[in-house]
Amino acid sequence: MTGKDIEQRHEEQLNGGSEKSGIKGYLLHRAKPYLPPWLGAGTIGVTGAAANLVWQGDTGMGVLLTLGSVALTGSTWWAAKGTGKERRLHSAITVAAGSSWFTSAALFGPGWDMWFVGGIVGALSWNVRQVMRRDPDGAKASASDGGLMEKIGLAKAKMGAAKVEPNRVTVPIALDAGTQSNDDMAKALVNVASALDIPATAVRYLPDSNSARRGDLVIVPMDMLADTVRWEEQGPSLPGGSITDPIVLGVYDDGSPLMMWFPGDPNAGRNATNVLIAGMTGAGKGDGALNLMTEILSRKDVVFWLNDPKGFQDFRPLLPGIDWATDATGTETMAEAVLPTVQARTAWLGTHGYRQWCIEASVTQSDPGHSCRTDGTACGCPGMPYLIVWFEEAGVGLSVLGEDAFNNIANLARSGGVGFVVSLQRASHDQLSTTTRDALGTRICFGVQNATAAGFMLPDSVIDAGAAPERWANRRPGYCYLVTPGVDEDRYSSPGRTRWFTPTANSLMEAVAAWAARNGAKPDPITAGAAAKAVGKAYTERARHKEENPEAGDEDEEETVSQLDDEDRDIDPNEELPPARPGEENVVFDQGDGVDLSREEARAALQEIVAEFENEGTMVIGVVDVMEHAERFGRKRGWVSGELQQLLEDGRLAVTSKPGRYRIVPAMADA
C-alpha cells in the first residue's frame, strides 16, 4: 500500500461510526485502528485451548499441525514479497510464533504465561508499527509529487502545494538541507521534463534569492506559441500612445503579453534601457525587429534613426516614418553623429532639471520647475522627444567601425533620452566588445546555434533556470527570450514568440509609417542641431521618403535638399556656357595629373576633395578614400596621411572611434 492509501484507510477507520457515546465511545473510536492485533492474540488463545480438548496427545494431529505451521509461515513470507523487507520479516515471525503456540497448546495444553507475554509483545509490535507508519508529512509529499522527486534523483526534496493558473503550474520546492541545493534542481530540469513527457523548454526552476535550497518549479503543460499569429491581425498595440507605455512584441508561452519599455520610470523602479537583439539566420530576428519598429513608429513622442547595411530590404515600407535612414555607406557617419547628439541632449536635460528623460521633457517647457532660466520663470523651450538609434546587422558595421565603436554610445545613451538598439546574428566578443554588451540591458534572444552563443546573450541565472534558445535554433521562427527592466525576473526564462509579418502586412506597415510622418514627433532643435554640427549635410540633407499621394498619383520617392546655392538654382545644366570674356581665355579648369602642382596647390586640391566629400554627405574618410583622387594632387600615400593629420590639428577633421578614420567637421559647424 502507498502512503496515500495507508493514510486514507486510517482516516476511514478513525471516522467510522461508533454506537458508544461520551468518553467511552471516544476511547473506543480512537482505539479501533489498533484492536486487530489484540483480537488476533485473543483468538489464538481461545482456539488453542479448545483444540487441546480435542487433540491432546494425538501424535498424528501433531504432525499435521506442525506441517501446517511451516506451510503457513512460508505462505506468509511468499505473500509479503511485494512489501518492504521489514514488513515481510515482521509478518513471517508473527505467524511463525502464533502457529507454534497454537500447535503446542493443542497437543500439550496451553502455556498461558507464554501466551500472555508473547501476545502482548506481538500486538504491541504491530501497534507501534502502525503508529510509525502514519507520517503526515511523508504522505503529503508522496501525494503531491507522485514519486517525481525520487525519479529525478532528488528523493529527499519536498514539494509544496501547487499553484495552478491557466496553462501554468507553480510548485514550491524545498530541497534536502545540507545535501541538495538549487544548482542540483537546475541540473535536473531535463529529467523533470522527461518524467512529465513534455518539452524541455516547458520546465524552468526559479530559485529563491533568499535561500540556497528553495525555489519554484514552473511547468507550462501546453505550448501556446505553436500557432503563429500574424502581425496584421492586431497591428500596433497602442497607436498614438507614448513611448513610455509598454511595447508589446508578442506573447509568452502561457498567453500573457511579451512586453518591454525603453525609458525608465523612477516611480516604478525601472531603469531606462538599451537593446541587444541576436539570433541565427532563419530564427525570426527580422520579424522581431519589425514588431519592435512598428511599435516605436506608432508612438507620438519618439524620433527614429536607422542604419541598415542591407539597404532596408525588410524595412522599406517603414521608411517614410523614419527621420534618418542610412545604408552601408552611411554607417560611419551615423555612428559619428550619435555621441555628440547624446551629449547635447544630456546637457539640455540637465539644464532643465531632468535626471532622466520623461514624458514631460517631450513637450514645451512651461513648468518653472523645469526651466533653463535663472529667474525662476518658465523658459518655454521646445520639448525634446525620445530618440531611438538602431543599428541593424551591426556585425557588418562593426567590421568597419571596430568592436569598440559603440562603447561610449551605449554607456551614455540612456542619460540623454536615447534608446540604443544593436541587432546582429551573434553577440560574440570578436564582434561586439564586452563593455558594449554589458551596457545593453535588454536582451531579445532568438534561436541560436549552441549554448555558447546563448551565453553571450542570456545571464547565467536565466540559463540555469531553464532558458535554452539553442534547443529550437531556427526551427521555430519567432521564439525568443526577453530579459529587460520592468519585467519580473521570473519571466526571463519563459519563452515568448513575436508576431509574424507576411506580404499582406505591407499595406498596414505603410499606414503606420504614414501616420508617423504626419503625426509623429519631429526632431527638436537640440537633436537636429547637434547632428548637423557633427556631420553637416549628411544630416541636414538626409534623404526623406515621401508617402504615396493617391490624389496626385505620385509614387514613393526620396526627397533631398538641393546642394546648389540659391542664385544657381535656375541654371540649366544642359545649356551651353557663354563665350569667354576678354582676359578669361587662359583660365585653367583641369590640373591634369597634378605632377607639376606646388605644395600649396596640392594642399588646396586636397582641401577641395575634403569639401567635395562633405557636399556629398560622406562625413567619415580615411587615406584610402582620398587616394582615389590622387591624380588631382600628385602626391603619395605618406604625404596624404601627413596632410590629414595637419587638417586634424587645424580642426577641419576630428578623430573617430577607429584609428585611421576621420570625421569631417562641417565648414559651417561653428556658425
Q: So what's the pLDDT on residue 541? A: 87
Q: So what's the pLDDT on residue 173? A: 92
Q: Does 182 lie in the same domain as 76?
A: no
Q: Is a pLDDT exceeding 50 seen at residue 568?
A: no
| 178 assigned to some structural domain | yes
- How far apart CA 228 and CA 232 sit, in angstroms, is 12
551 pLDDT band (50/70/90 cuts)? very low
Say what the pTM is: 0.68
Q: Which amino acid is at 468?
A: A
Dump pLDDT digits (tens) for 482-507. Answer: 999 999 998 999 999 999 999 999 99
663 in Cβ contact with 654 (< 8 Å): yes
Q: Does 288 lie in the same domain as 321?
A: yes
Q: Is a pLDDT exceeding 90 seen at residue 381?
A: yes
Q: Could you give the number of structural domains in the chain?
A: 5
| 188 assigned to some structural domain | yes
Q: DSSP alpha helices (H): ranges in 328-442?
A: 331-351, 394-401, 407-412, 434-439
With pLDDT > 90 as the criterion, what percentage of the chain qualifies?
A: 43
Q: Give the residue among 214, 35, 4 at the shortest CA–CA distance from 126.
A: 35
| 579 assigned to some structural domain | no
Q: Does 189 lie in the same domain as 85?
A: no
| 588 assigned to some structural domain | no
90 pLDDT band (50/70/90 cuts)? confident
Q: Which of the listed residues 134, 150, 177 is the one where a domain comes to its end?
A: 134
Q: Does 156 lie in the same domain as 118?
A: no
Q: In the Cβ-directed half-sphere of 625, how many Cα atoms lie within 13 Å? A: 18
Per-residue burial over 449-465, b if 16 or more Cβ lie within 10 Å, else e, is: beeebbebbbeebbbbb
Q: Does 336 lie in the same domain as 269?
A: yes
| 494 assigned to some structural domain | yes
Q: Does 149 lie in the same domain as 42?
A: no
Q: Give the residue among 479, 238, 263 at the shortest CA–CA distance from 385.
A: 263
Dump pLDDT digits (tens) for 285-330. Answer: 999 999 999 999 999 999 999 999 999 999 999 999 999 999 999 9
| 591 assigned to some structural domain | no
- How far apart CA 263 and CA 358 sit, in angstroms, is 7
Q: Does 251 lie in the same domain as 105?
A: no
Which uninterrupted H or E stretch holds 216? Answer: strand 214-219
Q: So what's the pLDDT on residue 119? A: 81
Q: Which amino acid is at 8?
A: Q
**Higher-confidence residue: 629 or 586?**
629
Q: DSSP alpha helices (H): ranges in 109-188?
A: 112-133, 136-145, 148-151, 182-187
Q: So what's the pLDDT on residue 83? A: 74
Q: So what's the pLDDT on residue 112? A: 81
Q: So what's the pLDDT on residue 585? A: 42
CATH of residue 272's domain is 3.40.50.300
As a dihedral over the C-alpha atoms of residue 325, residue 329, residue 335, residue 336, rounded to 10 degrees, the angle is: -120
Q: Does 446 lie in the same domain as 426?
A: yes
Span 12-29, average pLDDT: 60
| 358 assigned to some structural domain | no
Q: Does 141 lie in the same domain as 120?
A: no
Q: Is a pLDDT exceeding 90 seen at residue 631?
A: no
Q: Which of the listed residues 568, 587, 615 is the one where a domain comes to its end?
A: 568
583 pLDDT band (50/70/90 cuts)? very low
CATH of residue 184's domain is 3.30.980.40
136 pLDDT band (50/70/90 cuts)? low
164 pLDDT band (50/70/90 cuts)? confident
Q: Does 210 lie in the same domain as 253?
A: no
CATH of residue 617's domain is 1.10.10
Q: So what's the pLDDT on residue 578? A: 53
Q: Which of the listed residues 82, 112, 134 is the one where a domain comes to its end?
A: 134
Span 631-658, average pLDDT: 87
Give the range of the structural domain holding residue 202, as residue numbers without chain letter.
Answer: 137-219
Question: Residue 231 — φ and ψ, nearest 5°?
Answer: -65, -40
* Residue 546: all three cell numbers together: 515621401
Q: Which amino acid is at 6?
A: I
Span 12-37, average pLDDT: 66
Q: In the Cβ-directed half-sphere of 206, how many Cα atoms lie within 13 Å? A: 15
Which of 74-83, 139-148, 489-498, 538-547 shows the highest mean pLDDT? 489-498
Q: Does 462 lie in the same domain as 395?
A: yes
Q: How far is CA 300 from CA 357, 363, 617, in A?
A: 15, 11, 29
**Higher-confidence residue: 585 or 116?**
116
128 in Cβ contact with 136 (< 8 Å): no
| Average pLDDT of the chain, as a whole number | 84
Q: Is a pLDDT exceeding 70 seen at residue 20?
A: no
| 656 assigned to some structural domain | yes
Q: Does 414 lie in the same domain as 278?
A: yes
